[in-house]
Amino acid sequence: MNIELRHIHKHFGPVHANNDITLTFQAGRIVGILGENGAGKSTLMKILSGFQSLDSGEIWMDGQHVAYNGPEAAIAHGVGMLQQDPLDVAAFTVLENFTYGRRGGLALRRKEARERLVQISSRFGFFDLDPDTPVAQLSIGQRQQLEIVRLLALGVRTLILDEPTTGISAEQKIILFDALRELAHQDGLSVLLVSHKLEDVIALCDEVAVLRAGRVVGTKAMPATTSELVSLMFGQELPPVQRDTGGAGLKPMPTPAIELEKVQLRGRRTLIKDLSLCVKAGEIIGLAGLEGSGQEALLRACVGLAKPLAGHLRLCGEDVTGKSYRHFLQHGCAFGAAGRLEEGLVSGLTLTEHMALVTEYQPVVDWRRARRLTEDQIKQYNVRGTPDSAIETLSGGNQQRMLMALMPQQPVLMVLEQPTRGLDVDSARWIWQQLLERRAAGTAIIFSSPELDEIVTYSDRILVFYAGHVTEIPDASRTTIDELGRLIGGHSDGA
């Protein structure tokens, strides 16, 4: 299916998210949609997929003008979108979510639906999608996989994917990319890939379209180099990231920030036993491993969101084993979840209302003060939005900036799950600049990331999770991405 977007405009208050965008997408092609956070990529794709209405402009499909509102109508026209934060029903099982939105819905014959689910899942290599598992128990990566399978079952001819490789393993990415190439080049689907992972774009796409500040600034046939794509996105090349030299000059603390003593944790797929860890002030610990290997359990245990089955946790010398999340927050911990809108932010609330939630502790909210603080934080953190903007109208990068703005300025411990998930190169660097400033003042940081270069670049020490075992790399500066990858794959000779 050939698609033409003609003179698309979209405003969110004073923000001109899409400004006179005209693009053509041909059937059988994989097109990368690039641009920095807030450039208008996701907004444009949401308009095409019916999740957003356009202010003006036209959509043409195979030479016919079409007009629709809502994702159901878009799917009826053959357009489906996998959002960065998948849209699913947590109370439903995998099979029930798979049938949701199909003609007949939950009344479909379960045997036929199960067979179709298994058939498509097997084609993509998504073998962890147990039809009877509640979606609430799935990881973000598994939820993305389920949504891809569901859209294909609905018969879409244009498949839009927003950051589809976030949270899936390297092996699953290879299988996914092979399937997308087959869908486009053999089955004739149009595949539109919104991604900040330029290596994914280079590996998969036939061409790219680049947006900047709501406008199309260029298109390019592939292949292209990373530096060429970066120059198109930002108007210039970015200097290479230099490894941080550590927290030299930090004032020594009499006690560690957090200690784990022979802790036993239950992850999604594994049990971790006898884990001991001491994290000092100003130290950055990176967690690496395939999704579901236990990193999430450790992160949540460090802020009281998961209770250890055995062992002890001490925060600044105080035994906090079994204490609540609120207790950890009150004693200097901050937590950032990978699912921004699921756990970190509240969909439907404005930026000012978010600020009031974390700063106003009185029965009567001082809204004037909350708005003033919000304006200050918007300016300091360069958030593209207003105090009255609903949080879900911001781009993923601006949501992440706002999440950072809501955190304490100088916590004892920051626990971050994929802190740069879905961010462009420049925004990811900006996030780490903020984190390194906190680290320089004494904050300890524990973070996870599927990006191995991010872990190697910013960590002092690395913990690698594999099949219930945790291997420590005591000096991250002495390891390489290849060595780290071998450890993640279970080869103990990797470091």
Q: Convert the pLDDT of each residue in 205-251 to its tens digit.
A: 999 999 998 999 999 999 998 888 888 888 766 666 665 555 444 45
Same domain, 177 and 289: no
Check pLDDT > 60 for residue 106. no
203-207: long-range contacts at Cβ-Cβ below 8 A with a sequence spacing of 24 or more? 203/177, 204/30, 204/32, 204/177, 204/180, 205/30, 205/31, 205/32, 206/29, 206/30, 206/31, 207/29, 207/31, 207/32
Q: For residue 378, tell me if it sits in a domain.
A: no
Most confident of 266-270, 341-345, 488-492: 341-345
Same domain, 166 and 282: no
Same domain, 227 and 267: no
Final residue before a domain boundary, out of 179, 200, 234: 234
- Look at 110-119, 166-175, 263-272, 469-478 and tell me which has the smallest mean pLDDT: 166-175
Q: For residue 110, tell me if it sits in a domain.
A: yes
Q: For residue 243, tell me if it sits in a domain.
A: no
The residue-averaged pLDDT of 436-443 equals 92
Same domain, 170 and 273: no
Most confident of 212-216, 411-415, 453-457: 411-415
User: For residue 441, what are the domain limits?
Assistant: 258-332+408-494
- Between CA 429 and CA 484, with CA 461 as vertex, the angle to 5 degrees is 80
pLDDT in the model for residue 495: 41
Band the pLDDT of 33: cuts 50, 70, 90: very high
Final residue before a domain boundary, out of 169, 200, 234: 234
pLDDT in the model for residue 103: 64
pLDDT in the model for residue 352: 95
Same domain, 72 and 168: yes
Does the N-terminal peptide bond of residue 223 adopt cis geometry, omega within 30 degrees of 0?
Answer: yes
Same domain, 111 and 207: yes
Same domain, 225 and 267: no
Band the pLDDT of 252: cuts 50, 70, 90: very low
Same domain, 64 and 169: yes
Q: For residue 148, tell me if it sits in a domain.
A: yes
Which domain CATH number covers 84?
A: 3.40.50.300
**Domain count across the chain:** 2
The residue-averaged pLDDT of 379-407 equals 88
Residue 68 one-letter amino acid? Y
Same domain, 24 and 152: yes
Check pLDDT > 90 for residue 53. yes
Tokens describing residue 15: 């923000």
pLDDT in the model for residue 398: 87
Q: For residue 340, tell me if it sits in a domain.
A: no
Band the pLDDT of 494: cuts 50, 70, 90: very low
The residue-averaged pLDDT of 309-331 equals 93
The residue-averaged pLDDT of 185-195 equals 92
Same domain, 230 and 264: no
Q: What proportion of the chain, given as a percentage, has pLDDT over 70?
A: 92
pTM of the model: 0.70
pLDDT in the model for residue 249: 44
Tokens describing residue 287: 């967690």
Tokens describing residue 9: 């405009």
Average pLDDT, the chain: 87
Q: For residue 391, tell me if it sits in a domain.
A: no
| Among candidate residues 388, 56, 404, the one with its CA nearest the CA of residue 396 | 404
Same domain, 212 and 89: yes
Q: For residue 104, tell me if it sits in a domain.
A: yes
CB-based burial, 383-406: b 16+ in 10 Å, e otherwise? bbbbbebbbebbbbbbbbbbbbbb
pLDDT in the model for residue 241: 60
Q: For residue 351, tell me if it sits in a domain.
A: no
The residue-averaged pLDDT of 160-168 equals 80
Same domain, 224 and 304: no
Band the pLDDT of 101: cuts 50, 70, 90: low
